[in-house]
Amino acid sequence: MFAITGITGKVGGAVASRLLAAGQPVRAVLRDVARAGPWAELGCEIAIARMEDAASLTAAFEGAKGVFILPPSEFDPEPGYPEAQAVIDAVSKAIVKARPEKVVCLSTIGAQAQESNLLTQRTLMELALRKMPMPVTFLRPAWFMENAAWDVASARDDGAIASYLLPLDKPVPMVATADVGRMAAELLQQTWDGVRIVELEGPRRVSPNDLASTFARVLDRPVRA
């Protein structure tokens, strides 16, 4: 059985769907029982747990062949990342106590950066889970293609998209969440020793200007980044 956290999101849901399609048993780990229905109907075992609560996570992970960890993101963290650290502490304690056979943790390209930034939340999780006594894989995907969905309204209404990616003409690694979920499901079903890092990006890199051009073509109006 594979315990999947973050199952109500795009990536976690894709992981679970891939495993179910492969005939694998899945335990859906959710914090809200009201959202468990669709996964129960698909045949998933349900575990209610909060990512900051070691006891409920331990129960959710016990007996698992593999665990998929999808850490929540804090986009306005307090100094020292206490919100992320609370999750890291709970997850670490739960894994040590439950002893699943293996762990796959969603991280990000850029988690190797030394300078403190929003991605440091993933860096700290990696540092903690490297110490686990079972095989661990950190899956580091690129920028999610789905982030472009936030730009639909401004592209349509204003002919412009805002970008956190600079310079605007520089192609950057991107990947679809469905592919992240597919890869995570494949990794969970593999056998390996120790700690490994798997980076994932799509078939070609995309710049903000490329995104603007695509919006312009689809919307049939000028769009700039």
- Expressed as residue numbers, the domain containing 35 is 2-141+176-202
Summarised one tens digit per residue, pLDDT across range 49-94 is 999 999 999 999 999 999 999 999 888 889 989 999 999 999 999 9
Is residue 133 scored above 90 in pLDDT? yes
- Is 92 found in the same domain as 75? yes
Please give the pLDDT value at position 91.
99
Count of domains for the chain: 2
Q: How far apart are CA 66 and CA 49, in angstroms?
A: 17
| Domain shared by 35 and 118, yes or no | yes
Give, for 88, the enclosing helix (H) or strand (E): helix 82-98
Distance CA 47, CA 25 (A): 13
Which percentage of the chain shows pLDDT scores above 70? 100
Lowest mean pLDDT among 45-54, 106-115, 198-207: 106-115
Q: Do 122 and 190 lie in a common domain?
A: yes
Prediction pTM value = 0.94
pLDDT, tens only, 154-171 = 999 999 999 989 999 999
pLDDT, residue 55, reads 99
Closest CA to 49 of 14, 64, 208: 64
Contact 87, 71 (CB under 8 A): yes
Q: Which pLDDT belongs to residue 83?
A: 95
> What mean pLDDT do residues 207-222 have?
98
Q: What angle do CA 4, 8, 14 make, to 5 degrees?
A: 65
Both 63 and 167 in one domain: the answer is no
CA 166, 172, 175, 177: dihedral to nearest 10 degrees? -20
